């Protein structure tokens, strides 16, 4: 019991630190480079803050356990010839290969979420937000999060690249994944092309039938490569989903498991 309390205390402390770091990073940006006129204390912020706590206090440990299980399950099954060939590459080349392969698989996984109803059930939770900012970035169903982690990390395990070597880069990109949800419009140049741009991602959240653009949140060059890139000339469009969605935190976690009226398999 003492060990559990210590773990809980540490988790709460880390979550508090993460919250204040994110506030210090993104609130000044949203105030200085606001893309849309919207309140910071908006109506849905309570639900999104609940997701922030849920992701940091519970799902962070679940994702670590899931990736550990995935590594030790998939790693031994990887073709030896492939892992030996990758091992002969320079370290930076291994990292670049694993990140690129993960981005490509995540792109197609994300695109599949907008194509197949069973995946859209869970992914639609993220798209139910009617206002996008750095807090809304955390609105994600846990099964949708696990699917994204599977797509992102599976190539590294198959290629035999040590995940510990990529973790710092993934942390940086996770911060950028939050940044692309901010209410910000600013010139990013090549950084926005390779790491993501809030302008592009807001269009992905446009209130249209399952948006078919900008699936590569943190690798927009892939949208250019696969023909799904779109940069809107202005932002005179609404955000969210056309179909009705539950507004409560618990409801959003439960509804994807229930039978969906009119859904095609």
In angstroms, how far is CA 191 from the centroid of its own chain?
Answer: 18
Pick from 12, 50, 235, 245: nearest CA to 135: 50
Cα 161–chain centre separation: 22
d(CA 210, CA 243): 10
| CB-CB neighbours of 13 under 10 Å | 10
Per-residue pLDDT tens digits for 229-247: 999 988 889 999 988 889 8
Query: What DSSP state is assigned to residue 131?
Result: S
Residue 260's pLDDT band (boundaries 50, 70, 90)? Answer: confident
In tens, the pLDDT along 137-163 reads 999 999 999 999 999 999 999 998 876
What average pLDDT is seen over the chain?
Answer: 90
What ranges do the domains of the chain cover? 44-257
């Amino acid at each position: 019991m003492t060990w559990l309390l210590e773990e809980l205390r540490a988790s709460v402390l880390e979550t508090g630190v993460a919250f204040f770091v994110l506030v210090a990073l993104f609130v000044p940006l949203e105030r200085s480079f606001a893309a849309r006129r919207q309140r910071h204390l908006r109506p849905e912020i309570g639900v999104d803050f609940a997701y922030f706590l849920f992701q940091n206090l519970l799902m962070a440990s679940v994702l670590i356990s899931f990736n550990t299980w995935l590594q030790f399950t998939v790693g031994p099954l990887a073709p030896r010839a492939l892992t030996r060939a990758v091992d002969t590459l320079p370290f930076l080349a291994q990292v670049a290969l694993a990140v690129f392969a993960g981005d490509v698989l995540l792109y197609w996984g994300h695109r599949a979420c907008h194509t197949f109803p069973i995946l859209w059930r869970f992914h639609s939770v993220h798209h139910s937000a009617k206002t996008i900012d750095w807090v809304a970035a955390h609105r994600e169903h846990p099964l949708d999060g696990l699917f994204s982690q599977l797509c992102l990390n599976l190539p590294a395990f198959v290629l035999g690249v040590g995940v510990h070597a990529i973790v710092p880069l993934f942390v940086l990109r996770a911060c950028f994944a939050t940044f692309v949800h901010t209410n910000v419009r600013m010139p990013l140049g090549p950084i926005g092309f390779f790491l993501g741009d809030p302008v592009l991602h807001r269009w992905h959240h446009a209130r249209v039938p399952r948006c078919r653009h900008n699936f590569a949140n943190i690798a927009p060059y892939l949208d250019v490569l696969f023909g799904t890139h779109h940069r809107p000339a202005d932002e005179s469009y609404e955000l969210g989903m056309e179909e009705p969605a539950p507004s409560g935190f618990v409801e959003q976690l439960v509804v994807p498991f229930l039978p969906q009226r009119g859904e095609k398999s």
